Amino acid sequence: MEWHIASILVHLRPERSPDVRAAVAALGDVEVHAEERGRMVVTVEGPHEGRIADRMTAIHLMPGVMSAVMVFHHAEPMAARTAEEVATARR
């Protein structure tokens, strides 16, 4: 098994930023790292690529989002993750 992490660049309508930020935070496995003038950098983590794709699609479909594009993806062996991270990922 592998653990995946991806960075997503989100372009959004600046006036919708608070709504998009709240909706992204509600997804789980997602963290907003930076935000400025209609752009947001988000990371997604999960046990498989499907989780990454699902979160990216959900973000792309949010009202106010114009695009969500993966700009980085990395996978590492699940053995490198802590027991707590593995348990959380299986929920």
**Could you tell me the residue range of the domain that residue 14 belongs to?**
2-89
Q: How far, in Å, CA of 73 to CA of 29, rounded?
A: 15
CATH of the domain at 52: 3.30.70.920
Q: What's the pLDDT at 91? A: 56
Q: List 73's β-bridge partners, or say none.
A: 6
Q: What's the pLDDT at 1? A: 83
Interval 36-90: pLDDT, tens: 999 999 999 999 999 999 999 999 999 999 999 999 999 998 876 666 665 665 5
Q: Say which residues have a Cβ less than 8 Å from residue 18's Cβ, sequence separation at least 6.
A: none
Per the structure, the count of domains in the chain is 1
Output the pTM of the full model.
Answer: 0.83
